[in-house]
Structure 1
Amino acid sequence: MSRAGSKMRTMKKMVEKVNHGNFIRTNIPAGMAVPGPPLGPQLGQHGINIASFCKDFNARTANYIDGVPLPCRITVKSDRSYDLVIHNPPATFFLRQAAGVQRGAMEPGIETCGRVTLKHIYEIAKIKSQDPPLQLTPLKQICEMMIGIAHSCGIEVVRVLDPEEYGEFLEERKLVIEEQLKELQEKKEAKLLRK
């Protein structure tokens, strides 16, 4: 038994420790990183200088429109320095911009909140193919992913889009959104009255 115990101790010394707590995934609005919550506490837990991080992030995202959500991957090193990888905005952001809508459908399988063409899908896929996780993925597969994401948001993918007809659709959609917001407000008030 002592031989097995000594071998285990030597094996433990040989295996390097793996620290899983040094990786942060977060979305930060472009040019709007501030030391306050929610970003400040996340970085403070890992011992990063929050003011210098915010200054660095805002300088690196100066070419983006302020407020565009950017997925970030931060790897914290043992000397409290960090590696910051900034991805392109999420696919849902691009799809909503292309469709000209502010938010997705509340019931994606039932209602349609907007429409995009296959050309929009292709352009979004080309932009997203530059992100590190998708660099080795074929463009066709990324396009299929974008179509799936569009359907999950309630955005319909069409071959050709008539601008006048789509303008009328968006006007009708505004009325539907107002009704949905009223329903949500009524539900919130009903919950408050129950308490």
Structure 2
Amino acid sequence: MAEVVEVLVPGGKATAGPPLGPALGPLGINVKAVVDEINKQTATFNGMQVPVKVVVDEKKAFTVTVGIPPTTALIKKEVKIEKGSPEPNMQIVGDLPIEAAVRIARMKQNDMLSYDLRNAVKEVVGTCVSMGVNVDGKRPKEALAAIDAGEYDKVLAE
């Protein structure tokens, strides 16, 4: 029976230490080979936490599946901030262009509950509320109202 290990690793910088090493060691596979493969596949997500799934079969062969980083990590990368605001309603730490919100929504759409791009973008904007990040120069709740009013229909249609 195949064994499955799911972990969050830093993009391009996974090591044989925790959480990977202790999870993979007992399975009897070459941990360094797995780490090298993970780092190769996650290099584009440098600086972000990336969900990774390693499946090890009975013959000790492994496959690595890389997921999309959490929405918060993608927003932080786009806005170029280290972390969200300690007081989201009082202190704004950045501004996310609506085009970036659409790009993030497209990346994450398969993992979201939304059925269409408009609602997926609204989920991304909703995440900005708790991070203290404005969207297109507006407070996130104002941006949500603008999306509902159709102000961004042209961007959403592209």
Q: Could you tell me how far apart the structure 1 residues matched to 2:87 and 2:60 are?
A: 45
CA distance in 1 between counterparts of 2:128 and 2:95 reads 9
Tell me whether 1:119 sits opposite 2:99 in the alignment.
yes
Cα offset for 1:89?
2.7
Q: In the alignment, is residue 38 of structure 1 matched against residue 19 of structure 2?
A: yes
- Measured after TM superposition, the shift of residue 86 of structure 1 is 0.5
Query: Unaligned 5+ residue runs, structure 2?
Result: 139-158
CA 1:53 to 1:119, structure 2 compared with 1: closer, same or farther past 3 Å? same
Give the Cα separation in 1 of the matches to 2:53 and 2:130: 25
- What is the aligned partner in structure 2 of residue 74 from structure 1? 54
- Shift in CA distance, 59/98, structure 1 to aligned 2, threshold 3 Å: closer
> For 1:126-168, what per-residue CA distance to the aligned partner results, in whole angstroms no more than 9, with x for missing partners?
2223xx53598422222121111111212122357xxxxxxxx
- Between 1 and 2, higher relative CO (CA 8 Å, sep ≥ 6) is seen in 2
RMSD across aligned positions (CA): 3.0
**1:118/1:159 contact within 8 Å kept:** no
2:130 and 2:114 map into 1 onto residues whose CA distance is: 24
Which structure is larger by alpha-carbon Rg, 1 or 2? 1
Matched, 1:141 2:141: no
Amino acid at match of 2:105: A
- What percentage of residue pairs aligned between the two structures are identical? 25
The match for 1:157 is 135
